[in-house]
Amino acid sequence: MSVDEQTKLFEAPVATGGVKRDRAYLVVLAGASVGEMYKIDGEVTIIGRGQKAQIRLYDDGISREHAQIMVEGNRIFLKDLGSTNGTYCNGLQVDKKELVDGDKILVGSTTILKFTYHDNLDEIFQRQMYESALRDGLTKAFNKKYFTDRLESEFTFSTRHGTPLALVLFDIDHFKKVNDTHGHQAGDHVLSEISTLLSSTLRAEDVFARCGGEEFGVICRGSDITQAQVVGERLRKAVESHRFEYSGTHIPVTISVGVAVLPNPAVKDANDVVLFADQALYKSKNAGRNRVTVHQPG
């Protein structure tokens, strides 16, 4: 993000004439989860990257319990929780500050949150905008742009903090044959059903995305080589054991899986992680498909 863009984000909020809307929200304006909305529920809402945080953000520089939002009667406050890099509101570092509609909050190196009030129609519209910007229209998995941006931020976090990171890539075996035999609508049905089936088997913090026509990826923060292989095998078995049907016709479906992990001394950037996972994927396909191959760090 350029300096000019950051300056615009921190411009003073526009007065709203004192009209308060139904619910308080934080909306991510910049960072790995851009567009996401978080409703402020309860008296205290913790922002951070740890397990106790109700709003979990994975930007570099965010502490496990970075800051909190406190509801005190009709007033809402932002409070820093002794974070390593500080909490900023409208460009100024704060310890505790009452929030007003339009305030911009910076946590970590790039995550900017907007505090705002939404009524029900606003919430529906905002969520639709978020879905259309970051999700694949057919499968509802995250799209390739989001996948690429998130992998970059996860790679930076992993290399800086020395924590594990896994990338699981898979594609559908003989997918062209599915389209040629059963038609493209059947192929679309298989893609959509695989996305629904597999996304339900993953952790909330895992990033599941459609990377290409029939290729998908899963970014698994904190997963080492053993855990990543377990994830890949779980996905493979889930597809193999599921009965795919379209217009009453059974369509046999399997997937081939490739896994790459950090730390790996041969990896210089996020593109290398994709390259190694892709090489492992093609080894699975060349070895007969419907299997998981793990790239072994050198």
Q: Which of 11, 98, 205, 214 is catalytic?
A: 214
Residue 81: CA count within 13 A, CB half-sphere? 19
Q: How many CB atoms lie within 10 A of CB 133?
A: 12
Active site residue 36: no
Pairing of strands 292-294, 255-262: parallel
Query: What is the C-alpha separation between 224 and 271, in angstroms, rounded?
Result: 19
User: Most distant CA pair in the chain: distance in Å?
Assistant: 66
Q: Which long-range contacts (CB under 8 A, 24 or more apart) does 274-283 make?
A: 274/151, 274/167, 274/169, 277/167, 277/168, 277/169, 277/217, 278/169, 280/169, 281/169, 281/170, 281/171, 281/256, 281/257, 282/258, 283/258
Q: Which long-range contacts (CB under 8 A, 24 or more apart) does 192-197 make?
A: 192/138, 192/139, 192/140, 193/242, 193/244, 194/139, 194/239, 194/253, 194/255, 195/136, 195/139, 195/140, 195/141, 196/140, 197/238, 197/239, 197/242
Query: What is the C-alpha separation between 169 and 102, in angstroms, rounded?
Result: 40
Active site amino acids: 214
